[in-house]
């Protein structure tokens, strides 16, 4: 299939349209403006609806409504805007409404820097809103992977009736790469997906006291509320089968780099450079950062591994806490960090690797 | 014998109202139900309920319902109506929900001329949380967060939602009604029905503001609360059509 040169944000939006997304609401914030702008042009061409919300809060709630009406729906933002969306995301999770959203993350906290960063890891993976709900969180390291994961995200969301988060960063969102786009779902397929939700979708039903659509992000009855949380927890527990991870040359590695997103891509190039020079370096790259592929760290040969090197664009380090849970004290963990909108340099990672090997 | 009145179809059977004595939520929910019955649109009706006493609405009705986060009902309604344009979509919101925490969503949806209906309950106070001050609380009226009564210097003035929205070009129909007398109850039902009809005709944004009582948090018995509406609320919130583009 022909490959097309596309900017990350636009590729994500096109992948969503091809997956059958027919509603998008969003609010301007850098570095993800190309996502709403693309949807504004593209959705009317396919009979979809784009709304520029008056805020991130309004936008996510428009998506809550559209998705509750059975339409594949999406929103996107960047770090401070994602924080504002947490209310609506929590409601979607509580009411079991499938939707997809993307965080093209930037430096933080606060308004932070508009340049790329990975400062939202805890927020994305541990608590994207009140109430202890969980989501599949997908972290692409190339534009192609962003396309593929966005396309798959809508299926995951519908399967689980739960939000799915695409955790990218400003590099993935703004760089251009050649991509192979997935097939466009036909109008019939899109209509069939919507029709499959008509039983619970909030669109009006024949008079039937027992079987109206009741989208309930909360319950008065504490027993029902607990049952609702138990059912959600069972869905979260089923995600072990959905774990995605890249394990790259770790069997004999004396240093294993642990990184996700753009840092993992830089880390992988470091592995290749080191291997060419005869240095035994490997990489563990979580693609699903929630759930986290802890078991990949069991495949490290701790008899030869001197340290795991956590590489992330976050200060303080955040991913490192999940790495610790994977390593379980079997070797030291070092960090190579940058923040504030500075992009990780290959040289810094190479230096950190060499420092460990020299020990 | 000819049957001239029966249970409203959209009200669930065997439900006992959990609203406080004298509360007008139950009256308004019944009027909405009658309007839906008479228009024959049960199978396409969707309510978006806010947070607060207005959220209790969902327990009694037979049409579809989604609970919006506090204040966001107009945003949720936008998402539903834009993707399901054949549905009859209305929000049911109190004054704290619509006019305080949700003001941005409310005014923005009205300004876009979204083709749905807002049923706005104005009783001048937060009910479910126990009598805190609302944007609509009258000057001098006591609230748990304004224990000496609302004063203009500190709290500003009561907010007039219909008049505020009347500054916008897009809204199609804005009317303020009350349920304090039998005549006004009938006018309220007619206003709700008119707003629904306008939506079904694709006319755009409508809002029916209903001045109601909260005997519990006003500290009045239900009959005195009716007098309070007549003597205090209605001079501040005059009834009538604020806009009707027809």
Taking the Cβ of residue A215 and every Cβ of chain B, the question of whether any pair is shorter than 8 Å is answered with yes
* DSSP class of A301: -
Please state, in angstroms and rounded to a whole number, the distance separating the CA atoms of residues B216 and B218: 6
Please state, in angstroms and rounded to a whole number, the distance separating the CA atoms of residues B95 and B123: 7
Rg (CA), chain B: 17
**Does the residue B8 lie in any domain?**
no
Neighbour count for residue B156 (Cβ, 10 Å)? 11
DSSP strands (E only) in chain A: 4-7, 23-26, 49-52, 73-77, 99-105, 136-138, 163-169, 176-179, 214-215, 245-248, 255-258, 281-286, 288-290, 307-312, 333-337
Residue B183 CA: distances (Å) to CA of B188, B189, B224, B236: 9, 10, 18, 20
Q: Searching chain B, which residue's CA lies closest to the CA of residue A85?
A: B69
**Does the residue B238 lie in any domain?**
yes
Residue A208 distance to chain B (closest CA, Å)? 7
User: Hey, do A4-195 and A246-357 end up sharing a CATH topology, with the first three levels equal?
Assistant: yes
Taking the Cβ of residue A198 and every Cβ of chain B, the question of whether any pair is shorter than 8 Å is answered with no
pLDDT at B14: 83
Q: Chain centroid to CA B34: how far?
A: 15
Taking the Cβ of residue B44 and every Cβ of chain A, the question of whether any pair is shorter than 8 Å is answered with yes
Residue A172 distance to chain B (closest CA, Å)? 29
**Does the residue B14 lie in any domain?**
no
**Does the residue B6 lie in any domain?**
no
Chain A interface test: which of B75, B106, B114 (most A C-beta within 10 Å):
B75
Structure token pair of residue A200? 């619970």
Structure token pair of residue A207? 């008079």
Residue B233 distance to chain A (closest CA, Å)? 31
What is the distance between the terminal CA atoms of chain B, rounded to a whole angstrom? 39
Q: Does B68 sit within 8 Å of A61, measured CB to CB?
A: yes
Q: Chain centroid to CA A305: how far?
A: 30
Q: Does A61 sit within 8 Å of B83, measured CB to CB?
A: no
Task: Spell out the residues 6+ positions from residue A233 whose beta carbon is closer than 8 angstroms to its own.
Answer: none
Of B13, B80, B108, the CB nearest to A58: B108
What angle is formed at CA B192 by the lines to CA B188 and CA B195, rounded to 5 degrees?
Answer: 135
> The CATH number of the domain where B205 resides is what?
3.40.50.970
A31 cis-preceded (ω within 30 degrees of 0): yes
What's the per-residue H, E or C state across A246-277? Answer: EEECCCCCCEEEECCHHHHHHHHHHHHHHHHC
Please state, in angstroms and rounded to a whole number, the distance separating the CA atoms of residues B242 and A178: 57
Neighbour count for residue B163 (Cβ, 10 Å)? 15
Q: Does B42 sit within 8 Å of A207, measured CB to CB?
A: yes
Per residue of chain A (359 residues), give pLDDT as tens. Answer: 689 999 999 999 999 999 999 999 999 999 999 999 999 999 999 999 999 999 999 999 999 999 999 999 999 999 999 999 999 999 999 999 999 999 999 998 999 999 999 999 999 999 999 999 999 999 999 999 999 999 999 999 999 999 999 999 999 999 999 999 999 999 999 999 999 999 999 999 998 888 889 999 999 899 999 999 999 999 999 999 999 999 999 999 999 999 999 999 999 999 999 999 999 999 999 999 999 999 999 999 999 999 999 999 999 999 999 999 999 999 999 999 999 999 999 999 999 999 999 99
Please state, in angstroms and rounded to a whole number, the distance separating the CA atoms of residues A218 and A90: 11
Query: Of B174, B159, B164, B167, which is closest to residue B237 (Cα–Cα)?
Result: B159
Q: Searching chain B, which residue's CA lies closest to the CA of residue A221?
A: B59
**Does the residue B13 lie in any domain?**
no
Q: Does A202 sit within 8 Å of B80, measured CB to CB?
A: yes
Task: Spell out the residues 6+ positions from residue B99 whose beta carbon is closer than 8 angstroms to its own.
Answer: B106, B120, B122, B134, B135, B136, B159, B161
Q: Tell me the torsion sign for CA atoms B128, A58, B28, B176.
A: positive
Neighbour count for residue A291 (Cβ, 10 Å)? 20
pLDDT at B12: 87
A249: left (phi over 0), alpha (psi -120 to 50) or beta: left
Q: Searching chain B, which residue's CA lies closest to the CA of residue A50?
A: B82
pLDDT at B59: 87
**Does the residue B93 lie in any domain?**
yes
A70 contacts on B by Cβ (under 8 Å): 83-84
Task: Spell out the residues 6+ positions from residue A213 whose beta carbon is closer than 8 angstroms to its own.
Answer: A200, A201, A202, A203, A205, B46, B64, B65, B66
Taking the Cβ of residue A58 and every Cβ of chain B, the question of whether any pair is shorter than 8 Å is answered with yes
Q: Are B114 and B77 in contact (CB under 8 A)?
A: yes
Query: A–B: how many Cβ contacts below 8 A?
Result: 145
pLDDT at A1: 67
Q: Searching chain A, which residue's CA lies closest to the CA of residue B73?
A: A61
Q: Does B45 sit within 8 Å of A65, measured CB to CB?
A: no
DSSP sequence for chain B: --------TTBPTT----SPTT-SHHHHHHHHHHHHHHHT-GGGEEEEE-SSGGGGGGGTBSSEEEEPPTT-HHHHHHHHHHH-TTSEEEEEEEHHIIIIITHHHHHHHHHHT-S-EEEEEE-SB-TTTTS-B-TTPPTT--BTTBTT---HHHH-----HHHHHTTSSS--EEEEEE-SSHHHHHHHHHHHHHHHHHHHTT---EEEEEE---HHHHT--HHHHHHHIIIIIHHHS--EEEEE--
Task: Spell out the residues 6+ positions from residue A258 whose beta carbon is closer than 8 angstroms to its own.
Answer: A283, A284, A285, A297, A308, A309, A310, A311, A319, A320, A323, A326
Q: Are A112 and A81 in contact (CB under 8 A)?
A: no
What angle is formed at CA B72 by the lines to CA A21 and CA B187, rounded to 5 degrees?
Answer: 115
Please state, in angstroms and rounded to a whole number, the distance separating the CA atoms of residues B148 and B140: 8
Report the b/e string of A208-217 with b at 16+ CB within 10 A: eeeebbebbb
Residue B221 distance to chain A (closest CA, Å)? 27
Structure token pair of residue A262? 């753009």
3-state secondary structure of A7: strand
**Does the residue B10 lie in any domain?**
no
The CATH code of the domain at A4-195 is 3.40.50.970
Q: Does domain A246-357 have CATH number 3.40.50.10680?
A: no
Residue B234 distance to chain A (closest CA, Å)? 32
pLDDT at B13: 84
Q: Are B58 and B49 in contact (CB under 8 A)?
A: yes
Taking the Cβ of residue A87 and every Cβ of chain B, the question of whether any pair is shorter than 8 Å is answered with yes
**Residues of chain B numbered 186-215 and touching chain A (CB < 8 Å):** none
Per residue of chain B (246 residues), give pLDDT as tens. Answer: 898 888 898 988 888 888 999 999 999 999 999 999 999 999 999 999 999 999 998 888 999 999 999 999 999 999 999 999 999 999 999 999 999 999 999 999 999 999 999 999 999 999 999 999 999 999 999 999 999 999 999 999 999 999 999 999 999 999 999 999 999 999 999 999 999 999 999 999 999 999 999 999 999 999 999 999 999 999 999 999 999 999
Structure token pair of residue A338? 């940058």
Structure token pair of residue A310? 């956590």
Please state, in angstroms and rounded to a whole number, the distance separating the CA atoms of residues A337 and A356: 15
Q: Are B245 and B166 in contact (CB under 8 A)?
A: no
Total count of domains within chain B: 1
pLDDT at B7: 85
Prediction ipTM score: 0.97
**Does the residue B15 lie in any domain?**
no
Of A204, A217, A218, the CB nearest to B45: A204
Q: Does A202 sit within 8 Å of B67, measured CB to CB?
A: no
Please state, in angstroms and rounded to a whole number, the distance separating the CA atoms of residues A24 and A41: 11
Domain hosting B187: range is: 25-244
The domains of chain A are located at 4-195, 246-357
């Amino acid at each position: 299939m022909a490959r097309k040169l596309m900017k990350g944000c636009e590729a994500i939006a096109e992948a969503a349209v091809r997956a059958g997304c027919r509603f998008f609401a969003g609010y301007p914030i850098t570095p993800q403006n190309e996502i709403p702008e693309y949807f504004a042009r593209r959705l009317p061409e396919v009979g979809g609806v784009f709304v520029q919300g008056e805020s991130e809060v309004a936008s996510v709630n428009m998506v809550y409504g559209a998705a509750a009406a059975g339409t594949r729906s999406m929103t996107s933002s960047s770090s401070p805007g994602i924080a504002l969306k947490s209310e609506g995301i929590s409601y979607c999770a509580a009411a079991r409404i499938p939707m997809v959203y993307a965080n093209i993350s930037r430096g933080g906290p606060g308004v932070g820097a508009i340049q790329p960063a990975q400062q939202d890891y805890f927020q994305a993976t541990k608590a994207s809103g009140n109430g202890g709900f969980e989501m599949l969180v997908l972290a692409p390291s190339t534009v192609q992977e962003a396309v593929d994961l966005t396309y798959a995200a809508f299926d995951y969301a519908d399967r689980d009736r739960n939000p799915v988060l695409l955790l990218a960063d400003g590099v993935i969102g703004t760089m251009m790469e050649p991509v192979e786009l997935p097939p466009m779902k036909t109008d019939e397929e899109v209509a069939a997906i919507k029709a499959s939700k008509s039983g619970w979708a909030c669109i009006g039903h024949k008079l039937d006291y027992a079987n109206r659509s009741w989208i309930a992000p909360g319950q008065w009855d504490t027993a029902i509320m607990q049952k609702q949380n138990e059912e959600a927890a069972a869905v979260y527990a089923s995600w072990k089968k959905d774990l995605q991870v890249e394990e790259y040359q770790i069997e004999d590695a004396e240093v294993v780099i642990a990184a996700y997103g753009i840092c993992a891509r830089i880390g992988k190039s470091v592995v290749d450079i080191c291997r060419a020079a005869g240095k035994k370096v490997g990489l563990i790259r979580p693609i699903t950062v929630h759930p986290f592929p802890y078991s990949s760290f069991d495949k490290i040969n701790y008899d030869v591994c001197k340290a795991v090197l956590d590489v992330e664009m976050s200060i303080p380090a955040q991913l490192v806490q999940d790495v610790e849970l994977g390593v379980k004290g079997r070797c030291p963990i070092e960090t190579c960090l940058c923040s504030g909108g500075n992009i990780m340099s290959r040289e810094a990672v190479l230096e950190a690797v060499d420092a460990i090997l020299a020990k | 014998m000819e049957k001239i009145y029966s249970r409203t179809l959209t009200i669930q059977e065997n439900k006992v109202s959990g609203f406080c004595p004298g509360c007008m939520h139950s009256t308004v929910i019944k009027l909405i139900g009658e309007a839906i019955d008479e228009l024959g649109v049960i199978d396409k009706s969707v309510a978006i309920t806010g947070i607060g006493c207005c959220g209790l609405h969902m327990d009694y009705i037979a049409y579809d319902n989604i609970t919006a986060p506090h204040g966001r009902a107009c945003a949720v309604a936008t998402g539903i109506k834009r993707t399901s344009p054949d549905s009859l979509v209305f929000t049911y919101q109190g004054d704290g929900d619509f006019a305080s925490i949700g003001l941005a969503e409310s005014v923005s949806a009205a300004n876009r001329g979204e083709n749905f209906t807002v049923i706005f309950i104005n009783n001048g106070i937060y009910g479910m949380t126990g009598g805190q001050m609302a944007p609509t609380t009258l000057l001098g009226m006591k609230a748990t967060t304004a224990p000496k009564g609302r004063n203009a210097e500190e709290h500003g003035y009561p907010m007039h939602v219909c008049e505020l929205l009347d500054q916008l070009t897009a809204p199609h129909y804005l009317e303020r009604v009350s349920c304090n007398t039998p005549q006004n109850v009938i006018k309220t039902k007619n206003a709700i029905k008119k707003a629904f009809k306008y939506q079904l005709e694709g006319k755009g944004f409508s809002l029916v503001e209903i001045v109601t009582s909260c005997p519990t948090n006003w500290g009045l018995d239900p009959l005195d609360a009716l007098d309070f509406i007549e003597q205090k609320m209605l001079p501040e919130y005059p009834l009538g059509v604020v806009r009707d583009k027809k």
